[in-house]
Structure 1
Amino acid sequence: MPANIEHQLKSFQENNKTRGRLLICCPDQSGIVAAVSNFLFEHGANIMESNQYTTDAYEGTFFLRIEFDCPHLHEKEAEMESKFLPIAESFNMNWKLIFVYKLKRTAIFVSKELHCLRELLWEWQSGDLMTDIALVISNHDEAREFVESFGIPYYHIPANKDIRDEAEAEQLKLLKQYEIDQIVLARYMQILTPGFVAAHPFRIINIHHSFLPAFVGANPYMRAYDRGVKLIGATSHYVTNELDEGPIIEQDIMRVDHRDHANDLKKIGRKVERSVLARGVKWDLEDRILVHENKTIVFN
């Protein structure tokens, strides 16, 4: 890892050693915010950011993201997790207490097209993606020189439908070895098996070169050109077993017209893909996304 990136990550950890995040999803009822706020107050924490959303005014689902600062947080981690359990049980909460200084570890999967990979590594280099990019896995060797210039381990694992099980077994072994928290498919042009997806629920982020749900599957730009679209878009989403049907994180568009051919649409689309994927990855790293059924609540 280059010295400047290592310095950025260490500085981030040092500057956030007292910072925590609390994510909550539960049936909506009175008293939730008061109970959580009082819990944080009792542990000497100061709320820095708070976002909440309820799906319905009556008998809906309540979502809450709180970011807080707490002196000596490292010493209080186990105590806070233990003492929050009764509160969580009383409100039937799904919850997660996150300690920000514990950097997430990211794996990037890529095939031949490198524009999304380049964007992620440039964002990482500039300090806009605070994660430890632990490795890059590819079914081709085109990206090796670029990736290794960042000091990131690069693994070439050939993959196709005939050897998918063997390839995924090797990939899963690496993900476990590197203790990966987040997987990013930066134009990785292989379909993942249900077993692979099940091993990492809502931890795999994909970029689809279309404004979903339009033009799912392969060759969306050609089909968009044949349809005569006036807008080109891209979608970042979590991967599920249904192809391109996972919860949507972020989308964006650019305008096109009749003078743009399929290759023009592809070039324009790449610009959108890069930014949409980077935003989705960043929000996931910052714990700003809560999944509800097949939708997301994004506190960006």
Structure 2
Amino acid sequence: MIRSMTGFGRGEAPAPRGKIQVEIKTLNHRFFEISNRLPENFVIFDDKIRTEVAKKIKRGKVNLSLTYEGPRKASPKLIIDKDLARRYRKLLLQLKRSLKLKDDISVSQIISFPNVITVEEQPKEEVKLWPNVKRALDRALNSLLKMRQEEGKRLYKDIIKRKNIILKEMFLVERRSKLAIREYRVKLIKKIRELSTGRISLDKGRIELEVAFFAKNSDVSEELTRIKAHLGSFEDALRREDEVGRKLDFIAQELHREINTIGQKTGDYKITQVAIAIKGEIEKIREQVQNIE
């Protein structure tokens, strides 16, 4: 069954001394595109998250955000290398004596030298949280897919309804096209009689030739046959499980082209009106198809 490209999903998972929450929002897009918004310490999972999302979503724009509610990060620990500070002070004193300087040596001067004060590297606990992130991500994806499938069912029902309307209207075109030829023949004979006022005998052979010419130029049977075939392919594609949005869009374009040809070929007002109505239904189908994965 088809799936919509629009949807929203949220998933949560417990984590040590906190919880992880993932939210995913998807929109229409010609291709697959993902944008992740992650806390600084969770950027290490960016590639893994993209891979997991791509397994479930094949088309559409994906906006994903991850939040982590846990204990406040501890302040970094500063380490003073006293031995190094003493050596720097000793060198400064030697320099002071050799240059006969009178300036005092300050603490700020000593700590400005490299490695006198360093920041202790804190272990990155987030590295261990991938299973928790994966759990929250899976729940968000499942919630999203459920919503996209529900919307897909609604789209399916609407498109099938419009497809059936088109089939019904096509039957009217088919029936009307045969009547139009007979009506053209009657009108042609009537017009000749009105113009001749009885002075010219009717040339039945010429009349039949004109009628045949009209029938040939206004024949839409091939277009009707192709439209029926396209509608059959359209419904088959709607029932498939894989991504069919682009194929459905192509078929809808072909339907639009065929109905345009019918409108251009026919000289019958009633057929033209029906063709306009069919075109309206096709346009609505094309709008719906833009939202199918």
Q: TM-score, normalised by structure 2?
A: 0.20
Larger radius of gyration: 2
Which structure has the highest helix share of the two? Answer: 2
Q: TM-score, normalised by structure 1?
A: 0.19
